[in-house]
Structure 1
Amino acid sequence: MTDSPAPKSHIAHTLLSRAHSPDSAAQQFTERIKQKPLFLRPTSPSASDNRSRRRLHRLRKQEYFHRHQRPRPLSAREKRASGLYDLPKEECKYAIFKGLHALWIEYMQEVLDLRPDGKTGVLTPASHGAKLVSADYHGAEVEVVRSRSSGRVGIKGIVVRDTKFTFVVVTEKNQVKTVPKEHTVFQFTLPLPTSEEPAVKEGDKIQTDQSKSGGPKPLVFELHGSQFENRPVDRANKKFKWRNIDYL
């Protein structure tokens, strides 16, 4: 009858028995090693591992930075490419922008301090010129009365876009026209507010002349486009200055 081979001892028990007594080695092996996994790592990582670790750390820092910084605003070219300035043809209807024109009339009446009780003061260029220059004309119904190009005269519509050099208007025939401001004189009317009836609408057509109903006559203004070549956002903070108009 042959003897069975002795069980192979654990490598950790062998290492502990070299440094400790047999009882202490058996106790430490049972309490600290036998029931716990032993994790091993290379003592000297290669250069490629260090490079990968630095790259991962750099990518994490970039991700954190981009996640917490504000998005960069779009440039003018990116805005044009995205179609931000495009006006859909199915939405360029004169009837749609009549509500915008009504809001603009109320806005201008408030800017010029026009009161429905008839106590409005006299409007002069010195007192109200700066207010008209700094106002926003999105929603105004303008008409070209004089221009160096005769083809522009007579164009009338509601302003749907007020850029630095042009007015984009929608006419009553639902046509979108871009009118340059340079060497062009625009005219717009502003009805006075009344306490009895609204000063904006009558049926399906915008009424700009209240003299037909016996009310006060509307105010008529002329806007010289050559002196008005700036954006609405810049116009609000621009100081009003008197200038000579040489082309008149």
Structure 2
Amino acid sequence: MSKTHIAHDLLSRAYSPDTADQLFTERIKQKPLYLRPTSPTPADNRSRRRLQRIRKKEYFYRKQRPRPLSAREKRISGFYGIPKEECKYEVFKGLHDLWVAYMQEVLGIEKQNGNRAPPVITAQGHGNKLVSADYHGAEVEVVRSRCAGRVGAKGIVVRDTKFTFVIVTEKNVVKTIPKEHTVFRFAIPAASVESKTDDEDKPQEEKPKDLVFELHGSQFENRPVDRANKKFKWRNIDYV
């Protein structure tokens, strides 16, 4: 004997057999079963968030024309590279002349007329100007470094990055010098001063000595664009 459904037993207690059979057939046996979808798994949530991020990026990139290159794409394409045919000392010598005029203007030592003495350059008065200046085109020489092979390297700065100076030597060799634990020396020619001799019609130019500075690279690890408005503080550095 087959076992009857529990719902049929309960209905037969309250109704007649015919009514119980009808109710069981219409209300229970033939009633559709609505299934609720299960909750998404953590993997599904992760994929949904990933798709949302991709859609946002696609919308952002559609608004930009052209799409900017990533840092990796710039390195692969050689965006930061210098063509070998242009890595010549004579090519950047004109840039050095422009840099000298720029630094003379920054320090206020342009060509003086008359017998007026040139201004005195001090660390307190001109230090902020020197550390905020742009050194693309400066002719620097390594006077101290942890690597003895770098000492004496001299050339024109063709790239001033956050942590390195890229220079071109007189032999057209490109060298990358790290700033950390390195001291660079550079000179700025002082502007000549016109002084009158006994013959007032023939002014004579006096050429003062060049201004020589030493730059401590460990205190100079900033990009040129970041140094413009940065306030520098004095820090003692121990060189081993």
TM-score for both structures, normalised by structure 2: 0.65
SS of alignment partner, residue 185 of structure 2: strand
Q: Which runs of 5+ in 1 are unaligned?
A: 1-62, 197-212
CA offsets per residue over residues 121-151 of structure 1, 9 Å max, x none?
2111111111111111000000001111100
Aligned to 2:226: 234
**AA in 1 matched with 2:210:** P
Q: Is the 8 A contact 2:193 2:207 kept in 1?
A: no
Distance 1:67 1:170 in 2: 41
Q: Which deviates further from its counterpart, 235-244 or 115-124? A: 115-124
Q: Is the 2:135–2:160 contact (alpha carbons within 8 Å) kept by the matching residues of 1? A: yes
Q: Which runs of 5+ in 2 are unaligned?
A: 1-57, 195-204
**Distance (Å, rounded) in 2 between the aligned partners of 1:82 and 1:222:** 36
Q: The residue matched to 1:169 in structure 2 has which SS?
A: strand
2:139 is aligned to: 141
C-alpha separation in 1, matches of 2:187 and 2:149: 22
Structure 1 residues 123 and 102: alpha-carbon distance in aligned structure 2, compared to 1, 3 A threshold: same
Match of 2:152 in 1: 154
Aligned equivalent of 1:31: none
Task: Give the corresponding residue for 2:106.
Answer: 111
Question: 1: CA distance between counterparts of 2:167 and 2:60?
Answer: 44
Distance 2:206 2:135 in 1: 28
Who is 1:74 aligned against? 69
2:236 aligned residue: 244
Map of 2:92 onto structure 1:
97
Number of aligned residues: 170
Quote the offset at 1:243 in angstroms.
1.4
CA distance in 1: counterparts of 2:77 and 2:217, whole angstroms? 29
1:86 & 1:154 partners in 2: Cα distance?
25
Aligned AA for 2:107?
L
**Cα deviations by residue, 1:81-114 (Å, 9 ceiling, x for unpaired):** 1211111111101000000000000111111111
**RMSD between aligned residues:** 2.3
SS of the residue corresponding to residue 95 of structure 1 reads: helix
Q: Residue 227 of structure 2 aligns to which amino acid in structure 1?
A: R
Taking only the aligned residue pairs, the percentage that are identical comes to: 75
Work out whether residues 184 and 214 of structure 2, in 8 Å CA contact, stay in contact via their aligned partners in 1.
yes
| Amino acid in structure 2 at the alignment position of 1:226 | S
1:245 partner SS: coil
C-alpha distance in 2 between matches for 1:65 and 1:162: 32
Offset of 1:185 from its aligned partner? 0.5
The match for 2:45 is: none
Secondary structure in 1 aligned to 2:141?
strand
